Chain A
Amino acid sequence: MSGIGAALLNSLDIGLLLFIIAVGLNIVFGVLNIINFAHGALYMLGAYLAFTLINIAGMPFWAALILAPIGVAILAVIIDRVLLRFIYSRDVADSLLLTFAILLIINESVRMIWGSGIHVVQPPDLLSGSVQLLGSSVATYSLFVIVIGLLLLAGLWYLFNRTRVGRIMRAAALDRDMAEALCINTRLVVTGVFAFGAWLAAVGGVMAAPMRALDPGMGDKIIIESFIVVVIGGLGSFPGALLGAIILGLIHGFGGRYLPEVNLLLPFVGMALVLLFKPNGMMGKGANA
């Protein structure tokens, strides 16, 4: 019983972390209509910036949690204004190619700046212990990830459904020309949404830093996981991202414990099954070619 409880909590912290990252991918797709291949690289950048702020500059974890995502968001504004603005009016293939190029550039830059080795970030003292829960010992940091994930989930829901900024974003996602006709500065919305997506990726990166070792391949792993999440849930769907993330979290949490030898394959099997029966994802629509 305690094994199941621990696996469940473990699934939840993986799932909510994945949600934070995948929802950023989803929001950018919804408004800009591009899939950002560099999203995982931005996540990695968040983690490495946190490493520098905490281990080199000696700042507390909390400061890094605020500052690193802001730094990545600023970089995203530059990427948008310098590179992406050329291709918004072009075929979707060009945006895929360009964000892929950005991914290669960021990956190699991280390797140049921080090296190919593994780096470790310690969790803050307050969260480094463990607590008894559901009859088993759980890392306090996992609970912290779950709490932050739920807070972000609630915050995003509130942002999109109850605020003016959220309504503007949704309007721009539905019909950009119409939004423009209603005096909405869609250029600003596009840049803002791209930066917001990058901010979410980086928050995920900082949160992940104390749980996982930092290496230049961490962005590649997470972008593939995020793709699996949005394919399972349905591209562009907010509840879909949550559902997909929780399903993938459960696959990792239970698969890692009970089926360790095929553990790496399970997410792909899950994705293939969803594709066979619901090609548009559990909550998506209109993706047929």
Chain B
Amino acid sequence: MKTKVLMAILAVVIAGLIAVPWIASYFYVFIFTEILILGLFAASFNLIFGYTGMLSFGHAAFFGIGAYATALVLIHLEWPFLVCLLVSMGASALLALMIGFLSVRLNEVYFAMLTLAFGMMVFAIAYQWRSVTNGSDGLAGFTLGSFGLGLDLTLANPSVYYHVVLGIVAIAAIVLYLICRSSFGMILKAIRQNPERVSFAGLNVRTYRLVAFVIAGTFAGLAGGLIAPFLRVASPELLHWSMSAEPILMAILGGTGFFLGPFIGSAAFVLLETWITTYTESWMLVLGIILAMMVIFFRKGLLGTAIDWWMEVKK
């Protein structure tokens, strides 16, 4: 019964998402494209935070690298979009392997500091290496050519791009979900709860943490590859730690204990941002206050709080 209700809700949501370009204005097509891309970014972050218990403050490094990789390939090689995304995923996987190798060995406090520091290192490189990254201005002026696989799609059309993003994010989310549900995902959960027990069981915790870190980085890179053509620019801000704060807040906002939490958090975040920035410039101030309140009072997020409330009512 419970799963049937859930499936029904999910089916309605998916049907609604597919229908967005026909029932809503262009403004909302853009909003929903952003929600989906940032949702994937946050879901990839939650694989290491919510599932494995590693709080990274440098996840934007992989997101930004993905964006730069797609932008660079589009500018210099003009390959099909699907190939660009694969390059983005490869680049961020490699970067995640390097940063992860140095960071996952140490405890939570060190891990937080190291991911932040290495994230800002990548930011510094993008900022200083002007000949490749065009410094603080970022890379712009690239155009999307073909999609790949012989499909004839006008990617410049926001509605078409929205559907492409929806399809890719849906596939990526299913893959991430299967990873979380697999025995590998169960081990990650066990590591969050008790790493000593897991290593006593004969498993190499460090390797599992590293693999989780690389998978999360790879999917963040995919999200980055999707954001560059959407924003029409790959700039250092995508690598800055304020960008790393966004998936943290989305995951906490939606609920770190649920697979769909980050997507709900992303929707709440983007809608809130759109609404608040019409009133004030100081979005980061509001973001900080919301984060503090969520951490202190609603640690389970919107989804967790709603489920707790529902259970209470049913009793």
- Enumerate chain A interface residues (CB-CB to B < 8 A): 29, 35, 37, 83, 86-87, 92-94, 96-98, 100-105, 107-109, 111-112, 220, 224, 227-228, 230-231, 235, 264-265, 268, 271-272, 275-276, 279-280, 287-289
Contact = CB atoms under 8 A, between A and B. Distances in A.
A109 B282 CA distance: 8
Given A29-B109, A288-B105, A108 B295 contact: no
A94 B299 contact: yes
Contacts of A230: 113
A98 B245 contact: no
A289 B248 contact: no
A94 B49 CA distance: 12
Nearest to B109: A35
B292 interface: yes
B285 to A, nearest CB: 4
Contacts of B295: 87, 94, 97-98, 101
Interface of B: 49, 53, 55, 57, 102, 104-114, 116-118, 120-121, 124-125, 127-128, 195, 205-206, 209, 241-242, 245, 248, 252, 282, 284-285, 287-289, 291-292, 295-296, 299
Chain A binding surface, main DSSP class: helix
Contacts of B105: 279, 288-289
Nearest to A271: B117
A35 B109 CA distance: 7
A75 to B, nearest CB: 15
A92 B108 contact: yes
28 contacts: A87-B296, A92-B108, A92-B109, A93-B49, A96-B55, A96-B57, A97-B248, A97-B252, A97-B291, A97-B295, A100-B57, A100-B291, A102-B292, A105-B289, A108-B285, A108-B288, A227-B113, A264-B127, A265-B124, A268-B117, A268-B121, A280-B106, A287-B106, A288-B106, A289-B104, A289-B106, A289-B107, A289-B195
Chain B binding surface, main DSSP class: helix
B118 A268 contact: yes
Contact of B109 (A86, A96, A220, A272): A96
A100 B117 contact: no
Nearest to B285: A108
A154 to B, nearest CB: 28
A100 B246 CA distance: 12
A101 B288 CA distance: 4
B159 to A, nearest CB: 35
Nearest to A284: B110
Given A93-B53, A98-B296, 5 more contacts: A94-B299, A105-B288, A228-B117, A279-B106, A287-B106
Contact of B284 (A35, A104, A272): A104
A104 B245 contact: yes
B285 A235 contact: no
Nearest to B199: A289
Nearest to B55: A93
Contacts of A37: 57
6 cross-chain pairs, A with B, having the tightest CB-CB distances, nearest first: A104-B288, A105-B288, A108-B285, A101-B291, A101-B292, A268-B121
Contacts of A279: 105-106
Nearest to A280: B106
A83 B292 contact: yes
A279 B103 CA distance: 9
Contacts of A265: 121, 124-125, 128
